[in-house]
Chain A
């Protein structure tokens, strides 16, 4: 039998570090989250939709949005969700996600969709239509990462 040829494999195992500027629109979200524990979006002057994340231009109307800000409601309804079963790799932390790591699409009261993690880890209790509320990092010094200042949404009874 022919000998299996030897193939050389090279492994590159180096994090690529970067500094990423938020720009002033997302920067305003960072500031409001850090200082006032508020998530804010800016408003399209034409269609009045709240931009989340905030943008300089409304993608639908293609007009400049400007600097009119509105606080996002703290509560909303889950319209979609999923959770990890296979341990996927998280490139930001450089490790595998701790499962089940549920995440969902949450319809906030003002019509904004928020895509975020859910606190509830019991698959039996995750449901479309469940009501959730933002949970904030209470320690001022731990805040400063924009939307990540809300680490997840917690199920609420109403």
Chain B
């Protein structure tokens, strides 16, 4: 039986397109110090660091070698993980495994990306097998564009619904002191008037390239009770990987492919006795690189029936004051420092459970929350968080 694991410290940087005032380790250091301050801890109390970064996005190969000092990791065990968009989610799992196994009692999970260094879309294009990548590869954007088209064709969703997702995200982002894009949008027409990036995706349909870092401190039950009065329990995690889809990476018009989201959420729901998702879970922070993918993920994670994701946004179910809030932080389409992004999802879910989300605190009381990450050829990581365990 696994030991209980608590989130006892949360820290993140503000997020921005450019950070010339810091190099990458210095930016990470800001989030590390914020998390230590949140937990009222000293770096000496941290036993190990697990960090997430997609090094090709910066072109800094093996960033581990420059990170130890700013991460407070010198002389301690450390592992870096790079699994595309899920990197941060994988690092959360690593930290969870270590504490749950009892091998370590207090560990730090660190995610970071400094996207003013390079061109992420180009790096994703380059990540594919060279011989194939000349075949219709335009990074993640092209794949999410095709997903948007398939979603429109198969579910009956209109561009207006995608625009509603952006409007909801922007409302959250404008209330979140750490969010990157704060556009102050007031109508869906403003989204529908934004130019195309990769058809049918508009500029406001897709996430930005952000610089930023996010840190969680995880602790065993015994340590957690000494560190904080408000531990948030990391009840369970799940990772599912797979081969690239043959029929479409994120949107499969044939309905024949198995999605990692299905496998991952069905595993975690089963293990934790979740039979009615919107009754048993109070809030979700999901990794949605585009507003179209958010509606798709509602369906994948069984927040609603297949083909009905757009109805949730239309009815306001997933708004900050709705019955089942999703991404009150503004989500990934407002802020995307890739290695940090999944850790921000977990961090934001934990803040909601603690009641410390401030201006973007959901109206309903949040006792249980789900955080997801998406990456690579549509891999999934999930984390289930609880106030009481």
Q: Which of B132, B136, B137, B197 has the most CB of A within 10 A?
A: B136
A53 with B132: CB separation less than 8 A:
yes
Output the least CB separation between B226 and chain A (Å). Answer: 41
Give the residues in chain A near B121, CB-CB below 8 Å: 88-89
B146 with A82: CB separation less than 8 A:
yes
A92 with B20: CB separation less than 8 A:
no
Q: How large is the interface on A (under 10, 10 to 19, 20 to 34, 35 or more residues)?
A: 35 or more
- Once A and B bind, how many residue pairs between them come within 8 Å at the CB atom? 118
B135 with A105: CB separation less than 8 A:
no
In the complex, per-residue mask of A71-86: 1 if CB is within 8 Å of any chain B CB, else 0: 0000000011111111
Q: Contact partner of B198 among A59, A86, A147, CB < 8 A?
A: A86
User: Closest residue to A114 on the B side, CB-wise?
Assistant: B135
- With A80-B251, A105-B247 given, is the CB distance from A90 to B122 under 8 Å? yes
B248 with A123: CB separation less than 8 A:
no
Give the residues in chain A near B119, CB-CB below 8 Å: 89, 91
A85 with B196: CB separation less than 8 A:
yes
Q: Is A65 an interface residue (CB 8 A)?
A: no
User: Closest residue to A26 on the B side, CB-wise?
Assistant: B131
Q: Is B246 an interface residue (CB 8 A)?
A: yes
Count of interface residues, chain B, beta-carbon cutoff 8 Å? 43
Give the residues in chain B near A89, CB-CB below 8 Å: 119, 121-122, 125
Output the least CB separation between A156 and chain B (Å). Answer: 19
- With A82-B200, A85-B196, A85-B197 given, is the CB distance from A148 to B134 under 8 Å? yes
B149 with A81: CB separation less than 8 A:
yes
A91 with B122: CB separation less than 8 A:
yes
Output the least CB separation between B259 and chain A (Å). Answer: 14
B150 with A80: CB separation less than 8 A:
yes
Q: Is A98 an interface residue (CB 8 A)?
A: no
- Tell me which residues from 1 to 20 in chain A have a Cβ below 8 Å from any Cβ of chain B: 5, 7, 9, 12, 18, 20
- With A7-B20, A85-B199, A89-B122 given, is the CB distance from A97 to B138 under 8 Å? yes
Output the least CB separation between A6 and chain B (Å). Answer: 10
A91 with B135: CB separation less than 8 A:
no
Q: Is B192 an interface residue (CB 8 A)?
A: no
Output the least CB separation between B157 and chain A (Å). Answer: 15
Output the least CB separation between B192 and chain A (Å). Answer: 15
- With A80-B253, A82-B199 given, is the CB distance from A88 to B141 under 8 Å? yes
Q: Contact partner of A59 among B133, B195, B201, B242, CB < 8 A?
A: B242
A105 with B20: CB separation less than 8 A:
no
Q: Is B45 an interface residue (CB 8 A)?
A: no
- Docked CA distance A85–B199 (Å): 7
Give the residues in chain B near A9, CB-CB below 8 Å: 20
Q: Is B42 an interface residue (CB 8 A)?
A: no
User: Closest residue to A148 on the B side, CB-wise?
Assistant: B134
- Tell me which residues from 100 to 145 in chain A have a Cβ below 8 Å from any Cβ of chain B: 100-101, 103-105, 107, 112-113, 115-117, 123, 128, 145
Q: Is A69 an interface residue (CB 8 A)?
A: no
Output the least CB separation between B241 and chain A (Å). Answer: 11
9 shortest interchain CB distances as A-B pairs: A103-B136, A82-B145, A7-B20, A85-B196, A91-B126, A80-B146, A59-B243, A89-B122, A113-B246
Give 23 A-B contacts (CB < 8 Å), ordered by A residue. A20-B131, A22-B131, A52-B246, A79-B254, A80-B146, A80-B253, A82-B198, A83-B198, A84-B138, A88-B121, A91-B123, A112-B246, A113-B248, A115-B136, A123-B199, A128-B149, A128-B153, A128-B253, A145-B131, A146-B131, A147-B132, A147-B135, A148-B135
Given A7-B20, A80-B149, A105-B248, 7 more pairs with CB closer than 8 A = A53-B132, A82-B138, A84-B198, A86-B197, A90-B125, A91-B125, A91-B126
